[in-house]
Structure 1
Amino acid sequence: MPSTDQSPTFRRAVSPVEWWIAAHPRGTVPVLQVAVEGTGALDPCRLAAAAAAASEACPGTRLARKGREWVDTGRPPAVRTAKAGGVPVHRLPELQEPLLHRGGPTCEVLHVEGPTPAVVFRASHAVMDAGGVLLWAGDVFRALRGEPLVGATDTVTEVDLLPPLTQKPTPPGLQYPALLGGRAPGKERRTLWLRRSVDGYHPGLIARLATTIAPLCGDGDAQFAVPVNLRRYAPQTRSTASLSHSLPFTVPAGQDWEATHERLLTMLAEERDAQARLDPAVLKIPQPVLRLINGALESKATKQNRYPSHASLAHLGRVDVEEFSTASFAATALYSLSSSPAGGPVELDVVECAGHTEIMLSWHDGPGIEEKATALLDRIEEALSPAALRATTAAVPSTPGTVLPAFAAPSALGTVLPAFAAQCAATPDALAVSGPDGDLTYAELDRRSRVVATALRDLGIGREDVVGVLADRTADAVAAIWGVVRSGAAYLPLDVQHPDARLNDILTDAGAPVCLVQRPHDARAVVPDGCRTVLLDELSGEPPAGWTEPATEPGDLAYVIYTSGSTGRPKGVEIEHGSLANYAAWATRSLGVDASTRMPLLTSFAFDVSCTSLFLPLLAGGSVLLPHGELNHATLRTLLTDGAPTVLTMTPSLLELIGELDVRPATVRVVAAAGEVLRRSVALRALDMFGPECRVMNLYGPTEATIECLAHTFDPGTDTAAGVPIGVPPDNCTAHVLDAQHRFVAPGEAGELYVGGAQLARGYRGRPDLTRTRFVRLADGTRVYRTGDIVRVTDTGVVEFLTRADDQVKVLGNRIEPAEIAQTLEDHPSVSRAAVLARSRPGGDHKLLCAYVVGTAPDPVELQAFVAERLPRYMVPATVTVVAELPRTVNGKIDVRALPDPFAGADEPPADHSDRDDVTRAVAAIWAATLGADPDRLADDTDFHQFGGDSLLMLSMVAAVCRDVVGADAEPLFMARLGEIVREPTIARVAAIARAALSPTSTGVTQEPATRLGAELPAEAVSA
């Protein structure tokens, strides 16, 4: 830091406006203040060091006046700490304190500690304007982040930026009454600040404010002062000087905001602000004389209650709060607090940030002023964001009139653990889990889960720890998951069918100290160094006699589930106990879950829809049904006919497959579809299959909102659109529809769905940056999640899904970020760039992942294998096309139309099919019907997946072959070799296995044992 006796390295002239402002009566020089609020904390010592570093780059923050020059003192702005307690930042008494008083500093930083931590950058208006404060504040945060500083060392003033005056300026008169009433003469000058946050960004904002306020200004025209940043005349200028002038702006009575906005833009285009400025001759007036003039001006305005305009309307522009954040402090809002100059009117300062318009009103405090100011802000908010739109999609009970089970009262239920323990004690002999490895009563599930919990506690595992669970769909796995939760830790379910490398990465990213593994998966290279493996198969015995439930709080972590990530790696969604408990409460009621419920688990544990089956029945005394064997049409048929299920939860794709089984189970009371668009035709088929007394529900919810957060019961009489509505938010949940500018939309208009309420996730594990991006706040402080789904609200108040706002796609209910697949492809040494898109085959309905790669002789088959070793099967591209470059549109996106068709030539007919036998011909016909293709254009070696098939379509194809070709008697032999079909999904292989099943003694095909692993179908077949 330079000492005060060094020759200054920075100096600039005092401009006319700065000369006038500096000559205010002592202690009344206006102070500009920019507040940055956020979450987290800033270290005061680091903040002071950053302020000092920024002052080197922005020497205009440490000036003192010497005659008609500002000179660098070399002393950085002081950093003071204020304790806010429960007081809002704008109410802090420190903000009333003057700067540039009796030789004091011109700038300082206020570090605010309290429930809402903040940093306030304070600068005397005599040396700086709001634009200058933003330049300075930006460099302070760059210093905090360790980034290079940009600096602001220009010495220009308005004299340098503006052309010469063409006529002598006329001093403004005191003609307009105070908008909110004046302060009493002789009273201490004290500024009142009132803040209002309004959702969205609003074009023509100054014009909208002016036309909203104008009717309050009397019958005549309204007069406003609009500060204009003169840096617009030299956009590259980086100066902290006071470079804003007020443009007088008249608004005729009754003029609409569009016309007002047009007039304002015209005035700016004509550079009217260049002439509307202070007479440079003011520099000739000695400061003592000018101080007397300013004092007289303020006194006259106060006595007469008249000012140069009705209000000053300042727009500081749009800022990115990320530029004012650090690793430990996440900025959530930025706003400006100013104080009026001598004789100045009411001021309204607006800043656009974080999807909000921050409005700060400032005026002299006095009796009744706050009430009038509040009413004015109410009027402005209603004009910008009508209350009727904000309330369009408020929380609505999902199924009125039904009775909430006593255990699930939302006001009383903090976690699910007390209810589970109570249920185990109340019905110890009731069936809890029925699975391929045996049945468990509640007493046995209670015992086994406590054994797991005890083992974890003995390893020091407890609250906020994450424990991996790698197991098949077995009763032991259910006990393990409940055991993790009962230990106080959070469980991390791992899909056994995902590649070892991906599971290893997930455990590493989650920082899991322990992973519970069921044989034979202990032989896999899944568990990373530093994570201890505990074999479920070896956990036995009895829990200790004094075992007690953990003291789990609603804010404790319950589970972590990983989803595809747009940054190239999966992201872990952290769900707390309170969110899970709220979901369990309303879903139990909505789905009619009780002691008679038998609910199958049809999804992988690694998909959050599994929580519906894992928790709901076991909190109500019902049973969880686990399929005996891997899911296929045969095991599904057995489960539906012999398992007597009462409630089914699944993806619409799986529901569509079940519709092809030609079964009519009489026990099903509720069918809940989730994870994809539920088509009306599928819902109608479900009603026909399960009977008119069965309720078909469409549930919606991203993992970040705890399983499902909107629900709708299908009504064939009113739900006539192609897609079934996704419904309304249930208890303690909210849904809001906002446009691209974050404004609430009217019913019927399309917008992005934001969900909020008790079920929101804590965030993404170890990803505060991504959490800030996706979990945002509305202007009233409500925390919401940006779903990325484009929806609309119907006239009846239900939400309809329309499309996606981004590149995310869904394959069989799985959320896929194509960028993650592209990043994996680019990790291959032969690929320099890659892009992945979802495309359909010509004439096909199903979306396929198609990759395009640029590189040095990449081999498509090798690249598919490379991806398969690292990502789940459903993320492996169906096609890989090598291109010379990735064409892009003018806005930088991949130009899909300019990319080659990956399916070109796929429809060319093979040379000859005359040698096909009846079985092969029948199989080809089934493939054609399943894939929507011409059977004569399907070669015998056509790969099912690369021709447009997915795992659910494969299930459908296999079921059709069993029904129409193999027959019931030979079906077991055919299904025993399902693993061969999964590994080699061609017409020739399926036909050969069908022939062998029809003629068991045939030696035409080598019999292959149906090992459990060999017969698996990909988990995406039933995921959501």
Structure 2
Amino acid sequence: MSNAISKSQNKEVTVKNIEEFISVSKVITPEEKDLILNDFNDTYAEYSKERTLVDIFEEQVKKTPNNVAVLFDNIEITYKELNERANSLAMILRENRISSDDIIAIISERSINMIVGIIASLKAGAAYLPIDSEYPENRINYILKNSNAKAILIQEKFKEKVNQEIFMYDLDDENLYKYKNDNLNKVSNGSNLAYVIYTSGTTGNPKGVMIEHNSIINYVLYAKEQYLNEENLYMPLYTSISFDLTITSIFTPLISGNTIVIYKEKEIDLLMKKVFQFEKNSVIKVTPAHLSLLKEIPNVNKNIRKIIVGGEELKESLAKEISAMFDNKIDIINEYGPTEATVGCITHKYDSTKQYDNTVLIGKPINNFKIYIVDNGNNMLPIGEIGEICISGNGLARGYLNNDKLTEEKFINNPYEKGQKMYKTGDLARWLSDGSIQYLGRIDDQVKIRGYRIELSEIDTEIRKIKDIKDVAIIARENNLGENEINAYIISEDSTILKKVKEQLKLTLPEYMIPQKFMLIDAFPLTPNGKIDKKALFEIKEENEINYVAPNNPLEEEIVDLWREMLDIDVIGIDDNFLEVGGHSLIATKIVYKINEIYNVDLSLVEFFTDGLTVRNLSNILEEKLFASISEEELESMLNEIE
């Protein structure tokens, strides 16, 4: 059960009464049912379900062969050139018996050849499987084995992470792109797989979501119409391709004659500066965590027309602040959709003149999607009543790869439309009277961290595998910055267990899934009915494993105060390691921005992570930078004062 707290008019949705809201059936009138089914869900839009992404891309190549398809590191590649390179690689794949519904994994840093690999996989008839090159080796190999991938398109430096027999093609081998470059004969249709993306799973392992061509086409045609409805627009690609946010950033430009701008930078501060300062970027898709960094970036490109926000709840305060930066002349679009509903299925354009209830509405269903708010018995609820979001329509996933049981559990027969499936999201929401939807949290223990969907039970399972663990509780909470963080409460007689747990999780989980805080406790506090008391757990303070060392001077005191604010920790010693007390790249970026603003220095994120992971070390770096910035006249004046 989720610990998320949301407010809706005079009702407060808490752990205690979520079940009450969705288990007690509220009778819906025939008039309201008709309104929801035939008005709120009147989303029909004509498109061919037999076509594939390849069909639409190749049509665009014919229309705009000389338009720039991809810009990367000052290198441009046209639609014609991109198509020819993809054709060459696809022919090689096809001749090696790759065909429809086979799966090709892609393990690569962001690059032009990564895009070529994606398109080539589709042209060969296969589905592409994006795997983050930063994933731990164990996770990469689990995904490869579970998916039964037939081949990998990979960069040479990542081959050592693969420990199983599977054919690998080096994406940077230019010989792959010198073969036959004509369009291939079609072997796929709209019902074949286009891609598989793995998300966090409840069983302790990630699960693969299968998306067909007709589903992704439904989404990208809508996105083209709403986000990129003209040519010569630029859209940045800067996140991991294992995150389905990138579907928007890759395919929407490529079916509309526009340009993908690929960023290779890994340092989030430099990356986000480049994304938001490049004057040609006109449409940008972000998570709220990325959007919050925009407030700290100088010289922001004011040519940005649209910002699409997805992955997490969009707070009204953040939307209001960003909108004001652009004189309320920018479109901020809140896009909701689980991976199982092909990126996005509900959208809402933020209105700066409107008063929201803490978070921006997720809005109304997009083309060819139908949304139902239901109780535990899948009965439709009246307008204003809180229930579970269920999704139906052309954009649904085929199901979970090699997991029929979970597919049957989550993709049930739609009781309101014969012959259709309905996906049970686990998300809570309610209809408003105008047909908009207000998101209100989760029913279960799934959370979003920096846009990534995480099942807390997967973390729980990994920790329980470690020797000398007696019990574990993994809980998400909202910190004082309004962001979700994960806390791990561990019972063990081994006083060094926290260090062992952290080391083991680095080998098995992506960085974003590792809890920000770990606490070793003697026993779990319980409620009167015997359940774990989450509120009491939150009040337990994290004990630093290093002995506390107090600040020695005003500069260290100021840095400690900044860390306390950003990390939401009461006590921080000057020798405590930033990463050990819950820090991560986005928090580090905010700290670096603040330090540069306050002290008028040029501290980089690389310097922070290389030499500044303790307050003591960071203070030393700042002292050097501050001293170096003093002019000879100022230094002479200071020395005279001392004399």
Normalising by the smaller structure, the TM-score range is 0.7 to 0.9
Q: 1:628 & 1:568 partners in 2: Cα distance?
A: 31
The aligned residue for residue 510 of structure 2 is 872
Report whether the alignment pairs 1:818 with 2:456: yes
Over 3 Å counting, the alpha-carbon distance change for 1:866 and 1:545 in structure 2 is closer
The letter for the 1-side match of 2:152 is: C
State the shift of 1:483 in Å. 1.2
The aligned residue for residue 615 of structure 1 is 251
Identify which of 947, 953, 961 aligns with 2:595: 961
Identify which of 688, 711, 733 aligns with 2:369: 733
State the shift of 1:499 in Å. 0.7
Whether contact under 8 Å (1:945, 1:985) holds in the other structure is yes
The aligned residue for residue 531 of structure 1 is 166
Whether contact under 8 Å (1:395, 1:732) holds in the other structure is no
Identical amino acids, percent of aligned pairs: 28
Identify which of 392, 401, 408 aligns with 2:36: 392
The letter for the 1-side match of 2:404 is: P
The letter for the 2-side match of 1:689 is: M
Over 3 Å counting, the alpha-carbon distance change for 1:859 and 1:484 in structure 2 is same
State the shift of 1:435 in Å. 1.4
Q: 1:827 & 1:738 partners in 2: Cα distance?
A: 37
Q: Deviations over 1:907-942 (max 9, x none)?
A: 9996642x3364x455334434434567xx432123
Whether contact under 8 Å (2:589, 2:605) holds in the other structure is no
The aligned residue for residue 84 of structure 2 is 447
Q: 1:397 & 1:670 partners in 2: Cα distance?
A: 25
The aligned residue for residue 274 of structure 1 is none
State the shift of 1:711 in Å. 0.4
The aligned residue for residue 777 of structure 1 is 413
SS at match of 1:930: helix
Report whether the alignment pairs 1:806 with 2:444: yes
State the shift of 1:703 in Å. 0.3
The aligned residue for residue 474 of structure 2 is 836
Q: Deviations over 1:824-845 (max 9, x none)?
A: 111112224433111356x564
State the shift of 1:621 in Å. 0.6
Q: 1:908 & 1:542 partners in 2: Cα distance?
A: 58
SS at match of 2:228: coil
The aligned residue for residue 338 of structure 2 is 702
The aligned residue for residue 180 of structure 2 is 544
Q: 2:88 & 2:42 partners in 1: Cα distance?
A: 38
Structure number with greater Rg is 1
Whether contact under 8 Å (1:850, 1:902) holds in the other structure is no
Whether contact under 8 Å (2:204, 2:461) holds in the other structure is yes
Over 3 Å counting, the alpha-carbon distance change for 1:543 and 1:879 in structure 2 is same
Q: 1:681 & 1:568 partners in 2: Cα distance?
A: 36
The aligned residue for residue 572 of structure 2 is 938
The letter for the 2-side match of 1:595 is: E
Whether contact under 8 Å (2:130, 2:241) holds in the other structure is yes
Q: Deviations over 1:453-503 (max 9, x none)?
A: 122112211111111101111111111111111111001101122111111
Whether contact under 8 Å (1:398, 1:590) holds in the other structure is no
Q: 1:443 & 1:659 partners in 2: Cα distance?
A: 39
The aligned residue for residue 790 of structure 1 is 428
The aligned residue for residue 491 of structure 1 is 128
Whether contact under 8 Å (1:879, 1:902) holds in the other structure is no
SS at match of 1:829: coil
State the shift of 1:777 in Å. 1.9
Q: Deviations over 1:689-713 (max 9, x none)?
A: 2343321110000000000000001
State the shift of 1:681 in Å. 1.2
Report whether the alignment pairs 1:750 with 2:378: no
Over 3 Å counting, the alpha-carbon distance change for 1:458 and 1:413 in structure 2 is closer
Q: 1:768 & 1:890 partners in 2: Cα distance?
A: 39
State the shift of 1:949 in Å. 3.9
The aligned residue for residue 595 of structure 1 is 231
The aligned residue for residue 485 of structure 2 is 848
SS at match of 1:720: coil
State the shift of 1:395 in Å. 7.2
Q: 2:338 & 2:61 partners in 1: Cα distance?
A: 31
Over 3 Å counting, the alpha-carbon distance change for 1:902 and 1:868 in structure 2 is farther
Q: Deviations over 1:412-450 (max 9, x none)?
A: 772221121122233222211111373222122112212
Whether contact under 8 Å (2:287, 2:310) holds in the other structure is yes
Q: 1:395 & 1:958 partners in 2: Cα distance?
A: 49
SS at match of 1:620: coil
SS at match of 2:255: helix
Report whether the alignment pairs 1:977 with 2:607: yes
1:139-538 superposed matches below 5 A: 386=30, 388-389=32-33, 391-392=35-36, 410-411=47-48, 414-436=51-73, 438-522=75-159, 524-525=160-161, 527-538=162-173
SS at match of 2:560: helix
Identify which of 659, 665, 670 aligns with 2:295: 659
Whether contact under 8 Å (1:449, 1:482) holds in the other structure is yes
State the shift of 1:881 in Å. 3.0
Q: 2:90 & 2:115 partners in 1: Cα distance?
A: 13
The aligned residue for residue 924 of structure 1 is 560
The alignment's TM-score, normalised by the length of structure 1, stands at: 0.55
Q: Deviations over 1:167-208 (max 9, x none)?
A: xxxxxxxxxxxxxxxxxxxxxxxxxxxxxxxxxxxxxxxxxx
The letter for the 2-side match of 1:532 is: F
Whether contact under 8 Å (1:395, 1:734) holds in the other structure is no
State the shift of 1:575 in Å. 0.4
Deviates more, 1:608-617 or 1:713-722: 713-722
SS at match of 2:474: strand
SS at match of 2:128: strand
Q: Unmatched 5+ residue regions in structure 2?
A: 1-22, 630-643
SS at match of 1:838: strand
State the shift of 1:852 in Å. 2.6
SS at match of 2:172: helix
Report whether the alignment pairs 1:951 with 2:585: yes
Q: 2:198 & 2:63 partners in 1: Cα distance?
A: 35
Q: 2:583 & 2:43 partners in 1: Cα distance?
A: 38
SS at match of 1:852: strand
Deviates more, 1:655-664 or 1:490-499: 655-664
Over 3 Å counting, the alpha-carbon distance change for 1:384 and 1:692 in structure 2 is closer
Q: Deviations over 1:685-735 (max 9, x none)?
A: 221223433211100000000000000011122343211000111110011
Q: 1:660 & 1:420 partners in 2: Cα distance?
A: 37
